[in-house]
Structure 1
Amino acid sequence: MIRKILIAAGTFTLLSTTALTPVSVAAAERKETYKLLDLFAEVFDKVRSEYVEPVNDEELIEAALNGMLTSLDPHSAYLNPKNSKDMEIQTRGEFGGLGIEVTMENGWVKVVSPIDDTPAYRAGLQPGDFITHLDGDPVQGLSLSEAVDRMRGIVNTDIKLTVRRQGVENPFDVKLTRAVIKVQTVKGNAQGDIAYIRVSQFSATTTDDLKRIFANVRKDIGKPATGVVLDLRNNPGGLLDQAVAVSDAFLEKGEIVSTRSRRPEDTQRYNARSGDIADSLPMVVLVNDGSASASEIVAGALQDHKRAVIMGTRSFGKGSVQTLIPLPGHGSMRLTTARYYTPSGRSIQAVGIEPDIKVQQSKVEPIGGPERERRSEASLRKALPNPNGTKAPAPDKSQDNKPADKPAEQAPPATTTAPAGPDAKPDAPKQPIKLGDPAQDYQLARALDLLRGLSVYRPAAK
């Protein structure tokens, strides 16, 4: 592969009379690389000897590695041995902390999604909230891994988060108690004769849990079911193989997803095997702008195969694949190695999955105000572009559906200083809408209405 790249370089690099050979091009590139490595070593040595205070060599190297990787895109990073172990534990579905998926935006910690039934969820944290201070200390200046490490800690100890939320005038403090997060990634219940299944993230046990819980819900219905709602809202993603397996559970055949990396020969395609656990029942998949990565793979596959109606609001738009690469004795690196494509060949990177039926999360009564700005992959610093040149549509400002009391995105904290003085009156956070309860959950209620309408129409059509 190296030889192919160098031949291409030699083909287009010409001198006045003679083309550079691949060998000479390679030698020149190596020489320049060595110069840059010498520069790094010189800076490292100067910091060690001249900085105002003694510095730790390991911490300097870790910071340099993390800086190199985070400069590539929002999802690549260096994980020291402790963080690497935490990552492995998290993908197994049990870990310690607050139960919150976060990213970094403009130096601030930004909530992607709280995980169901965790301290963060019960405290009312919402997607799009900015965490500006941890126990009174500003997060600016910390890397994402450092901020996450601060939020983790000994179980049953407390931490105070200072939060800014668009639409709320003053910042407010939220006190959380750290806990062992045992994530039950799949839940379900019978909504009359419709099976409701919620998947909150994709861990190693998700597919097995999905099949078991779906079978139990169908038994609870006690008669032939008329439809299925698969709820992927606020699902930040997880393991690729689990996204493929969940998609496969509802498809009889066809491609689920393909991943395409830097080298065309490394393209991988994942196909469904025969067997639909829902027996071709009508299906609605709920998504919103907290649905990212693996959840978008599932939604995209079911949408392209016309297996399900996608309902809700446009998804986050994270169409890249990260590989966890071990660095023996030194943790691991999380590196973006590919983009994924839906069965029809579309990349949703920085674009998202557009629902077939757009339904804003709304209250029953009119609540006024414009549609909130959505959060998305495209808003993240150094986000990869869509390879097809597709750009995310501009926000829909129509008032056909009124927005819910959910946080707006893209609004940075209003101040970089301490967010509230002793005389400030912070606004208390509002509890999020309880997903899965049709009495509160407008999007779910509309999905149930659609499936019930289809069940009435289909016998008449026959």
Structure 2
Amino acid sequence: MTYRQFCGPLKTGLKVGLVTGFALIALAASPLYGERAFAAQKTKPANPEAAYEYLSLFGDVLEKVRDDYVEKPTEKKMIEAAISGMLSSLDPHSSYMDAKSYADMQVETKGEFGGLGIEVTMDNGVIKVVSPIDDTPAFRAGIKPGDLIIKLDGQPVMGMTLNNAVDKMRGKVGAPIVLTIMRGGGEPFDVSIKRAIIQIKSVRGHMEGDVGYVRITSFNEQADIGLKRQIAGFKKKMGTRLRGLVLDLRNNPGGLLNQAVSVSDVFLDRGEIVSTRARRPEDSMRFNARPGDMIDGKPVVVLVNGGSASASEIVAGALQDHGRAIVLGTKTFGKGSVQSIIPLPGHGAMRLTTARYYTPSGRSIQGVGITPDIIVPVAKVEVVAQPQRARESDLRGAINNGLPKTGGDKNKGAATGANDNQAQGDDTANDYQLTRALDLIRGISLYEKRARNGVQ
């Protein structure tokens, strides 16, 4: 009997275990999933007598409910509810999956699922949005990270388990569902969303002038391949003119641990990437980088925000601790625990928190998050018109600069280059955080070039 390790918020759709951009953010612990014998993990309770006493109490209560409850109860439902309550009382991410939910999870790991396209977690009895997935019904409906879902089709979520709420948000493709949302301190409002098949393309990229831009929306099984493919394309197109790379992990809820390690390894030559520490020291693990930096030491800026969780935080923390990248944006989600999916033959599976992960410097970001090197909040930039003033060249009798005329204003061309580059991106001119990242990379690249050439 084996189990798989996961880590992250829970997702709506036919996805109960984040593995390729969905929810349950999967942090697998060995080459792919980190399997080991579950039987070997069984240990005797510290106080067997106390355990037997409470098991006897549970049996007494079960028998009393079965005999005297006003309606004949279903023993299966009662026991599964008791197991679910026991696990959910441990932390927000431990839970019980019945046979159907577990089967759904196994199907959903294929990378396509039906639902809304939203990652969620439980927060004080209501459902909190970690992030919508790009180009999904939830994203198009305007759902935002931090939104609280307080009702589903008019039914309050208070009192529901996370799995129950997720199950209600699933359904037939094309069928609508009404989410009642609280945003900030405002009044609740309804959003109607039609369910759809969610297909995740986890890596997208393009050139922003002379800077490569790659967005990873989730760490599925193809994330590292997609990143390497994008970088190879940038190098083929730009050659030595490639100044650096922006790695956008905003609203990325996480994914497979081995993918977080592989993505980090693309930029690192050596050293630890991440470690996991369980209650038993022998279950702890450490992952190290292999030689080879795919972009040859050129500047990297990692964009993060409050929707960057789990595997995203592993990458940001590793590159930050090694000084390989500048992390820019706002503080991350703070999901630093690892969950194991443990099959229960004939009865589904349990999702149990089994470890914490740590950045190379030994930081646990559980409940704290990654603090960016440069904090840049989301903002709107407005160009303010400047009054027309005469310049030196407009003055009567102004002398020339003594240089031959070239037929153009070199400085003017340089000044407009940044704006030209912005126009090439996906609404880059309106993305203040990305604009800052691009300016930062160009500034670092220019400084390094001048330092190499001895220009002071």
> Structure 2-normalised TM-score?
0.77
The separation in 1 between residues aligned to 2:106 and 2:436, in whole angstroms, is: 38
Q: 2:375 aligns with which of 333, 358, 367?
A: 358
How far did 1:258 drift? 0.7
| Aligned 8 A contact 1:91 1:239 in 2 | no
| Aligned 8 A contact 1:236 1:293 in 2 | yes
Partner of 2:344: 327
How far did 1:69 drift? 0.9
Partner of 1:176: 193
The separation in 2 between residues aligned to 1:330 and 1:440, in whole angstroms, is: 50
Partner of 1:152: 170
The separation in 1 between residues aligned to 2:176 and 2:201, in whole angstroms, is: 23
How far did 1:89 drift? 3.9
For residues 45-444 of structure 1, the aligned pairs below 5 Å read 45-167=63-185, 169-221=186-238, 224-365=241-382, 437-444=427-434
| Aligned 8 A contact 1:250 1:275 in 2 | yes
The separation in 2 between residues aligned to 1:89 and 1:215, in whole angstroms, is: 32
How far did 1:219 drift? 3.7
How far did 1:106 drift? 1.7
How far did 1:28 drift? 8.8
| Aligned 8 A contact 2:45 2:51 in 1 | no
Output one character per residue of 1:320-349: Cα deviation in whole Å (capped at 9) or x when no partner: 111111112211111111111111111111
| Aligned 8 A contact 2:305 2:330 in 1 | yes
| Aligned 8 A contact 2:273 2:288 in 1 | yes
| Aligned 8 A contact 1:108 1:139 in 2 | yes
How far did 1:217 drift? 3.9
What amino acid sits opposite 1:155 in the alignment?
Answer: V
Partner of 1:375: none
Output one character per residue of 1:103-128: Cα deviation in whole Å (capped at 9) or x when no partner: 11121111111111111111100011
| Aligned 8 A contact 2:119 2:130 in 1 | yes
The separation in 2 between residues aligned to 1:220 and 1:90, in whole angstroms, is: 36
| Aligned 8 A contact 2:234 2:242 in 1 | no
| Aligned 8 A contact 1:323 1:335 in 2 | yes
How far did 1:215 drift? 2.2
Output one character per residue of 1:18-48: Cα deviation in whole Å (capped at 9) or x when no partner: xxxxxxxx89922221111111111112222
Task: Please state whether the residue corresponding to 2:201 is helix, strand or coil.
Answer: coil
Task: Please state whether the residue corresponding to 1:307 is helix, strand or coil.
Answer: coil
| Aligned 8 A contact 1:192 1:221 in 2 | no
| Aligned 8 A contact 1:94 1:180 in 2 | yes
How far did 1:265 drift? 2.3
The separation in 2 between residues aligned to 1:107 and 1:241, in whole angstroms, is: 32
Give the structure with higher Rg (CA): 2
Unaligned runs of 5+ in 2: 1-43, 384-424
The separation in 2 between residues aligned to 1:30 and 1:166, in whole angstroms, is: 48
With over 3 angstroms needed to count, the CA separation of the structure-2 counterparts of 1:54 and 1:441, relative to structure 1, is farther
How far did 1:55 drift? 2.3
| Structure 1 range deviating more: 255-264 or 46-55 | 46-55
Partner of 1:456: 446
The separation in 1 between residues aligned to 2:325 and 2:318, in whole angstroms, is: 9
Output one character per residue of 1:371-404: Cα deviation in whole Å (capped at 9) or x when no partner: xxxxxxxxxxxxxxxxxxxxxxxxxxxxxxxxxx
Unaligned runs of 5+ in 1: 1-25, 367-434
The separation in 2 between residues aligned to 1:248 and 1:139, in whole angstroms, is: 41
Task: Please state whether the residue corresponding to 1:101 is helix, strand or coil.
Answer: strand
With over 3 angstroms needed to count, the CA separation of the structure-2 counterparts of 1:28 and 1:365, relative to structure 1, is closer
Task: Please state whether the residue corresponding to 2:450 is helix, strand or coil.
Answer: helix
With over 3 angstroms needed to count, the CA separation of the structure-2 counterparts of 1:85 and 1:216, relative to structure 1, is farther
The separation in 2 between residues aligned to 1:275 and 1:102, in whole angstroms, is: 36
| Structure 1 range deviating more: 213-222 or 347-356 | 213-222
The separation in 2 between residues aligned to 1:83 and 1:265, in whole angstroms, is: 31
The separation in 1 between residues aligned to 2:81 and 2:237, in whole angstroms, is: 53
What amino acid sits opposite 2:223 in the alignment?
Answer: T
Partner of 2:33: none
The separation in 1 between residues aligned to 2:200 and 2:102, in whole angstroms, is: 19
How far did 1:241 drift? 1.2
| Aligned 8 A contact 1:247 1:301 in 2 | yes
Task: Please state whether the residue corresponding to 1:439 is helix, strand or coil.
Answer: helix
The separation in 1 between residues aligned to 2:178 and 2:205, in whole angstroms, is: 33
What amino acid sits opposite 1:252 in the alignment?
Answer: D
How many pairs are equivalent? Answer: 368
Are residues 1:36 and 2:54 paired?
yes
How far did 1:56 drift? 2.1
Q: Relative contact order (C-alpha < 8 Å, sep 6+): which is higher?
A: 2
| Aligned 8 A contact 2:131 2:307 in 1 | yes
The separation in 1 between residues aligned to 2:214 and 2:103, in whole angstroms, is: 30
